[in-house]
Structure 1
Amino acid sequence: MRFTLSWLRRHLDTDAPLARITGTLSAIGLEVEGVEDRAAPLAPFRIARVVEAVPHPNADRLRVCKVDAGEGRIVEVVCGAPNARTGMKGVFAPPGSFIPGTGITLRVGEIRGVRSNGMLLSAREMGLGEDHTGIVELPEEAPVGESYARWAGLDDPVIEINVTPNRGDALGVRGVARDLAAAGLGTLRPWRPEPVPARFASPLRWEIADPRACTWVLGRALRGLSNGPSPKWLQDQLTAIGLRPINALVDVTNWFTYDLGRPLHVFDVRKVKGQVLTMRMAREGERLLALNGREYALTAEDGVIADAAGAEAIGGIIGGEHTGCDEHTTEAFIECALFDPVRIALSGRRHDIRTDARARFERGVDPALMPPALEAATRMMLEFCGGEASEVVAAGAEPAWRRSATLRFRRLAEFGGAEVPPEEAVGVLERLGFAVERRDAESVTVAVPSWRNDIAQPGALDQAPGLPAERARAAAEGCAAIEPECDLIEEVLRIRGLDRVPPVSLPVASPVPPPALTPKQARTALARRVLAARGMLDCVSFGFLDSRIAALFGEAPGALRLDNPIASDLDQMRPTPVASLLLAAARNAARGFGDVALAEVGGGYRDPTPEGQLQIAAGVRVGATPRHWAEPSRPMDAMDAKGDAFALLAALGVPMPALTVTADAPGFYHPGRSGVVRQGRQALATFGEIHPQVLAALDLHGPAAAFEVFLDAIPEPKRRRRGPPDLPPFQPVRRDFAFLVDETVPAEAVLKAARAADRALIGDVTLFDRYAGERVPRGKVSLAIQVTLQPREATLTDTQIEAVADKVVQAVAKATGAVLRA
């Protein structure tokens, strides 16, 4: 919302300086976005007369001008403007002035041998327009030596405030002035427009065919008009706030939009087809060529103002070009209507139309202001354009806006934290226009003024759609008791000054703040860090892909098919992030980067239910291991993926000895070179090499290994009291064993049996070698394990160590049929 200081003072009788006004505006909730002082950069410029203008002796297109800049000074200026001539008046800039349009500081100079002691300015050089065809020409009555900015009315600061969505009344200068007066910054000037007598019957009448389009509308015809430019003061005020003056009739409607926050519209009577203007909803296929030059395809949800030829305006948003007023208009019809805020907002958003009228109607306008606003606009138009006015014609009825609200004085301290005397609270409300209906020592009941539609209406939820009647009544009673009172508390506190509301800290629930992330969120972040630390690039990809690709990685049910995909090859929710990563690896390989390691923590989808959306940490390695001088490069295999999966599970706190591996991996893995990591029966991860058929379908040349860790399946760690770390005082003892087992026996069986041999002393068991070859019988493999013995009560003797070793050999032999290798 923008307005000038002089405009504000048309409604506010105050001698407060600009700084105090802007400070008070921010303190009462109308935050000042900025103040534009247009006179500041123009301060050095003075009105001057060209006493003499003669051709330059050394240049055909230059003139040497003697300029009277006031105070009896005659200075010589070299000027290249074609309109520089003897006797004219213009704007003079003395040496040392900063020229805003060019960004230079003026100095005394010599042009083609003639000294120039200043400059005669064009509009563009002053930053007041784009005209650079010549210097500014001023009328004869312009006083020589006077400040140009002061004479031109540019010393009127422009204030811009930020208006919150609930304060539609603050989108008018009078509403802003009312708030400032209530804050003690002056007195609100009275405003009672004198009625304009009717001289003839209106040639047009209103009809409301659909109350969704409009609930109440007034109109008045004017004839005998001479529609030309509006007065200079009105044009200056509109220009100052960024509006372009058009003609007197249109300028008046724009002026009242900002002055009172009351949008109006004028129709050219001769351009209207028929004698009836109808408020209705738009018809199928109806179009409107609007005043902004754009054509809009209307929908059945748009309220329009129509004549016999069709829609002529989108009600409350923008008028049509066909019936707009121009310099040839001699008969006009003023429209002053009330529209539904929600419908205005939806229509404006649907067509992407942003107008001053829409901004006010969608916030709600003063319904009681319509008759006096129509009278005031009529009088101003007749003053500017001549002519006479018709009777006022109307349709619909004024809505029932009258309501009351009650404020309990103790609530100001309970809700607002400020001790406000009852007299002061009542005084604030009265200055804002609330009329006292009842008052006692504990509370006051006031009538809410028509312009404050943000003050909640008691019982407004009685007709709330979708609510049972009993619940609606209960909600309405609560609303009646609380919401209007909270609004009144807000009014009292903000007018006293928001800076006077004492800051009160929220109570501290705990001396130690709760964690910012849930365990699931922390687990996701940790998974990303672990995979990145293992040399994998973190990826972010779409959660959907081509349904034909998705079918390679599991079921692609129709329930997970997208009805409106962003691309034809992104029509299916993906079963696993591995698919997206392999597609990314294929794109990299096609561009010469065949060896990649990619990871993503994202969604995999099994069905449309919440349980069917899995959070998966996935990774792929394609090509060969990175070359290193100390070791040869080798192709990626299932063990690389298994190492990644196990490293991530260990970082997430999964007890590693409790894990087992089964060979029932999904079908997109290579059979025999893949596995499923389980804790009990719960699958925590899968890993393995990618099936050759899948690689061929993706046009990806392997080898490729991948893994998935199902983050949702990992059990939450048990909360334990933190105690001192368990640090045994005795040194551990490590013994190596090599067993010959059938090649079909999984290594996990050997490890599990060794751990169970003596749980009190055996702290860890690891596999460090697997050998199959000429020194091992056919069908057998050698598995070498390391067993760590951790004593806790005393150092182990050789006898105790040998006893545990015997237990390990016996347990492994019993569980797997293995024998100790000689």
Structure 2
Amino acid sequence: MKFTLSWLKKHLETDATIDEVVEAMTLAGLEVEDVENPAEKLSEFSIAKVLTAEKHPDADKLKVCTVETRDGVKQIVCGAPNARADMTVAYAPLGAYIPGLDFSLDKKPRKIRGIESSGMMCSGKELEIDGEDDGIMDLPQDLAMGTPLAEALNLDDPVIDFEVTPNRPDWLGVNSIARDLAAVGLGKLISPNINASDIKFKNPQTIRIEDTDGCPAFAGRVIRGVKNGPSPKWLQDQLKAIGLRPISALVDITNYITYDRARPLHFYDMAKLKGAINVRRGADESFDALDDKSYTATEDDIVITDDNGVLGLGGIVGGTTTGCDETTTEILIESAYFDPLTIRRSAKRLGVNSDAKYRFERGVDTGGLIDGVELATQMVIDICGGEASDITVAGETPALPEPIEFDPMQVTRLTSLKLSDDTMEKILTDLGFSVKREPLWTVTVPSFRRDASEGADLVEEIARIHGFHNLEAVSLPPLPGRREPTATLTQNRTRLARRALALRGLSEAVTWSFALDDHAALFGGDDESLRVDNPISSDLNTMRPSALIHLLLAGQRNADKGYPSAALFELGPVFSGQNPDDQRLSLAGVRRVEAKRDWSGVEEITALTAKADVLDALESMGAATGNLQLFDAVGDYWHPGRSASLRMGPKNVLASFGELHPRVLKAMGIESRIVAFEIWPEAIPAPRAKKGKSVSKAKTALSLSDLMPVTRDFAFIVPEAIAANDVLRAAKSADKALISDVTLFDVYQGKGVEDGHKSLAIEVTLSPKDATLTDKEIEAISDKVISNAMKVGARLRS
């Protein structure tokens, strides 16, 4: 919805600036989207006088003009055919931006066919004032030289564009906007009165309504002796300012009233009507509309007809057969009310969009039928002349909204505002309501405010006009008793794990909990119970058994678009059956094995990269990673020999990681090796609480020794079947007090190591607490490390 500041001031007596108007609208709940002031883009242009206009010596179509401007007398070369001496023009100085041409003049004079030119004389199209481009603007002679162009042409009139919410169709009229602004104290409402016109003859036009559900009421009046032609300049300027094209006086009047009072009207040329006007349902009838399109009206549509057929779609668009033109001398004014739902359905089906449809589908003021006719009558007679008949009303105007029984104490209860009864009554009456004050108020709702139907609506109106910004910030009262944390242990843990994975360079994804059945089968989800009866898509017909499915597909889509190194993770549910216990929370991630270019060198992505991701995530969730055991990965979609699982005991699987099986990747169309992981956060045991104490979420105190640590390296020969982790755990158990860390730094198979065996090189770190370790103490611990390693099948490499 658009309107100008000058248009608003026809209904609101105020000295407010445009900024004050916008602020008041915003505080009153009208969402302003844009404010455009034509004067701003015309600020560089001014009125100038052409002194002489001589033919260019080297160009037949150019003239060399001397022009008196606010910058002095300038020589301007002009190609407009109407350029002449003693002409008043729009002058653009050097460097000015020409909006209609989208370019700026040079800041220095330039030569055109050898003659220097300083500035430009502009057409209306070049300044986006109008569409005329036959030549430069020929302005009135009485305009003073040097006057800013916007001021001279009365274009310093800002245009406000705001969003109208569906529940406030009255805001589609400027008078209703003025009413709300007057209520907030911005000015005084001065909407002109609509007086009854003098009746000169009886209405000769018969009007009938067959479909009273679709069109409850139709008011009509005939005006004869009108003279149609261009509308007055003030009316054309108002319509142009909001983006409407002036057509003729009669058409422009209907457009003006549509925006001024939110009252769509339609004028019929009486000379083109035949017989009675009839409002009914369509019967597969086609007609040519005023928007230069043809439509076929069915029984779902409301049509206006006469004996010749369809005259238009009621409340949407009129037909060409009875349209007004320059020959029109007698008109029928239509002011009707149409059912909003029927209008909305018809317009959507036919693809029609019009100002009338936009208002009727939201619901126009049922009390404005007669006022609409009277206002149109006044404007037609004032602009086009003529005399009016009486008004014929077919059907019945819908009843007024039901009065509201209102308890004024609701305002304090719902908003905490403490306003006097007089203040609340004034707000409601300023908005058009009427109030009868008793212990329980009776509030009469105006016909244009059918959105207000109960006390809470009136509370909202009072708070809106008083100002939501004036509401005091009041905290909710504290609830009695001890409040438990709202986040569960798993929620807190996974929040930390997501942060840890993000710090390792993985991006979080959110994907579907459904998958294609063929993909689900690759991950063990071939159970019929997982099938979805009514899937949202054919490729999402099964509950997913693994979160890896969509991560793999997303990674491949990224690679197809030129981003092959996507590293993704997701936290979400996976399913193994229909029962509640068959749903688990999974934290899964994938990395594509792609070569990266990096100044610091290329880090190879392997199964151990996925293991590091898992360990970081598990440690962030509080899992005792030092006590985990390494087993084969769970699921045949993992690559044998390049994958494993971490367990707390033989049955409690915390995570699986490693490379995915090439067979699975090929079946899914994944064109790369993939390392991945699946973590089961709910499998991590909850921390134990000490007797009489709650579980502390704080970390244990950091303990650092002042003594230097001691490291010793060992190399063991073990069978291939023995996991390196078993050797590391055995070595660390040699002395848990002094051994602070055991790491594997080399695995070797080849010359010097018999077939079926491997060499594991480990580093053991000893951290003394009280005193420096002697050689004898170090030797004793080393012997115990070797002894413990031998118990798991290792022998010291010679």
Does 1:201 find its partner at 2:196? no
Deviation at 1:698, TM superposition (A): 5.9
- Determine the C-alpha separation between the residues in 2 that align with 1:628 and 1:235: 67
Does 1:185 find its partner at 2:197? no
Q: Sort the Cα spacing of 1:650 and 1:298 in 2 relative to 1 into closer, same or farther, 3 A.
A: farther
Letter in 2 for 1:154: N
Letter in 2 for 1:727: S
Q: Report Cα offsets for 1:296-316 as digits up to 9, x if no partner.
A: 79899x754354898765654
- Determine the C-alpha separation between the residues in 2 that align with 1:65 and 1:817: 107
Aligned partner of 1:526 among 491, 499, 523: 499
Q: Sort the Cα spacing of 1:26 and 1:729 in 2 relative to 1 into closer, same or farther, 3 A.
A: closer
Aligned partner of 1:687 among 657, 674, 689: 657
Does 1:449 find its partner at 2:446? yes
User: Paired residue for 1:466?
Assistant: none
Q: Report Cα offsets for 1:186-211 as digits up to 9, x if no partner.
A: 352551331463623324422326x3
Q: Sort the Cα spacing of 1:744 and 1:314 in 2 relative to 1 into closer, same or farther, 3 A.
A: farther
Contact 1:527 1:617 survives alignment (8 Å): no
Alignment of 1:504-653 (within 5 A): 504=473, 519=492, 522-523=495-496, 525-532=498-505, 548=518, 551-555=521-525, 559=531, 565=537, 576=546, 578-579=548-549, 598-601=567-570, 606=575, 612=583, 615-622=586-593, 638-639=607-608, 641-653=610-622
Does 1:427 find its partner at 2:397? no
- Percent identity over the alignment is 37
User: Paired residue for 2:461?
Assistant: 487
- Determine the C-alpha separation between the residues in 1 that align with 2:81 and 2:552: 72
Q: Report Cα offsets for 1:593-627 as digits up to 9, x if no partner.
A: 99x67444366754797975854432245378999
Contact 2:265 2:333 survives alignment (8 Å): yes
Contact 2:231 2:249 survives alignment (8 Å): yes
- Determine the C-alpha separation between the residues in 2 that align with 1:171 and 1:808: 86
Contact 1:220 1:391 survives alignment (8 Å): yes
Deviation at 1:236, TM superposition (A): 2.0
Q: Sort the Cα spacing of 1:303 and 1:679 in 2 relative to 1 into closer, same or farther, 3 A.
A: farther
Stretch moving more, 130-139 or 620-629? 620-629
User: Paired residue for 1:91?
Assistant: 89
Deviation at 1:228, TM superposition (A): 3.2
- Determine the C-alpha separation between the residues in 1 that align with 2:685 and 2:759: 35
Does 1:678 find its partner at 2:651? no
Deviation at 1:402, TM superposition (A): 3.9
Deviation at 1:256, TM superposition (A): 0.8
Contact 2:89 2:137 survives alignment (8 Å): yes
Compute the RMSD of aligned alpha carbons: 5.7
Q: Sort the Cα spacing of 1:116 and 1:728 in 2 relative to 1 into closer, same or farther, 3 A.
A: closer
Contact 1:192 1:372 survives alignment (8 Å): yes
- Determine the C-alpha separation between the residues in 2 that align with 1:692 and 1:108: 73
Letter in 2 for 1:666: G
Deviation at 1:398, TM superposition (A): 1.4
Deviation at 1:128, TM superposition (A): 1.6
Alignment of 1:456-495 (within 5 A): 457-458=453-454, 480=455, 482-491=456-465, 493-494=466-467
Q: Sort the Cα spacing of 1:106 and 1:628 in 2 relative to 1 into closer, same or farther, 3 A.
A: closer
Q: Report Cα offsets for 1:123-173 as digits up to 9, x if no partner.
A: 23444234332233468xx64648696997624623415355254333322
Q: Sort the Cα spacing of 1:234 and 1:521 in 2 relative to 1 into closer, same or farther, 3 A.
A: farther
Contact 1:69 1:144 survives alignment (8 Å): no
What is the DSSP-based 3-state SS (H/G/I as helix, E as strand, rest coil) of the residue aligned with 1:393? Answer: strand
User: Paired residue for 1:305?
Assistant: 303
What is the DSSP-based 3-state SS (H/G/I as helix, E as strand, rest coil) of the residue aligned with 1:429? Answer: helix
Alignment of 1:738-757 (within 5 A): 744-748=721-725
Q: Report Cα offsets for 1:253-290 as digits up to 9, x if no partner.
A: 2111111122223455677798454355x78x888865
Does 1:338 find its partner at 2:337? yes
What is the DSSP-based 3-state SS (H/G/I as helix, E as strand, rest coil) of the residue aligned with 2:254? Answer: helix
Q: Report Cα offsets for 1:102-132 as digits up to 9, x if no partner.
A: 7549999998899999976532344423433
Q: Give the gaps of 5 or more residues in structure 1.
A: 459-479
- Determine the C-alpha separation between the residues in 1 that align with 2:601 and 2:364: 80
Alignment of 1:491-506 (within 5 A): 491=465, 493-494=466-467, 501=470, 504=473
User: Paired residue for 2:395?
Assistant: 395
Q: Report Cα offsets for 1:72-119 as digits up to 9, x if no partner.
A: x99998754323467x86436497896855754999999889999997
TM-score normalized by the length of structure 2: 0.75
Letter in 1 for 2:202: R
Alignment of 1:713-728 (within 5 A): 720-722=696-698, 725-727=701-703
- Determine the C-alpha separation between the residues in 1 that align with 2:361 and 2:250: 24
- Determine the C-alpha separation between the residues in 2 that align with 1:713 and 1:272: 82
User: Paired residue for 2:61?
Assistant: 61
- Determine the C-alpha separation between the residues in 2 that align with 1:770 and 1:639: 13
User: Paired residue for 2:635?
Assistant: 666
Alignment of 1:758-797 (within 5 A): none
User: Paired residue for 1:436?
Assistant: 435
Alignment of 1:45-56 (within 5 A): 45-46=46-47
- Determine the C-alpha separation between the residues in 2 that align with 1:435 and 1:586: 66
User: Paired residue for 1:134?
Assistant: 135
User: Paired residue for 2:170?
Assistant: 169
What is the DSSP-based 3-state SS (H/G/I as helix, E as strand, rest coil) of the residue aligned with 1:667? Answer: coil
- Determine the C-alpha separation between the residues in 2 that align with 1:83 and 1:127: 19
What is the DSSP-based 3-state SS (H/G/I as helix, E as strand, rest coil) of the residue aligned with 1:617? Answer: strand
What is the DSSP-based 3-state SS (H/G/I as helix, E as strand, rest coil) of the residue aligned with 2:371? Answer: helix
Letter in 2 for 1:41: L
Deviation at 1:720, TM superposition (A): 1.5
Q: Give the gaps of 5 or more residues in structure 2.
A: 480-484, 689-694
Letter in 1 for 2:703: L
Q: Sort the Cα spacing of 1:313 and 1:526 in 2 relative to 1 into closer, same or farther, 3 A.
A: farther
- Determine the C-alpha separation between the residues in 2 that align with 1:79 and 1:795: 99
Letter in 2 for 1:305: V
Q: Sort the Cα spacing of 1:522 and 1:9 in 2 relative to 1 into closer, same or farther, 3 A.
A: same
Q: Report Cα offsets for 1:22-59 as digits up to 9, x if no partner.
A: 665556555664252549937974586x8987656675
Q: Sort the Cα spacing of 1:785 and 1:333 in 2 relative to 1 into closer, same or farther, 3 A.
A: same
Aligned partner of 1:708 among 678, 682, 693: 678
Deviation at 1:371, TM superposition (A): 1.9
Contact 1:39 1:155 survives alignment (8 Å): no
Q: Report Cα offsets for 1:448-502 as digits up to 9, x if no partner.
A: 33333343x13xxxxxxxxxxxxxxxxxxxxx4x4433432333x14xxx67x27
- Determine the C-alpha separation between the residues in 2 that align with 1:169 and 1:291: 26
- Determine the C-alpha separation between the residues in 1 that align with 2:563 and 2:98: 55
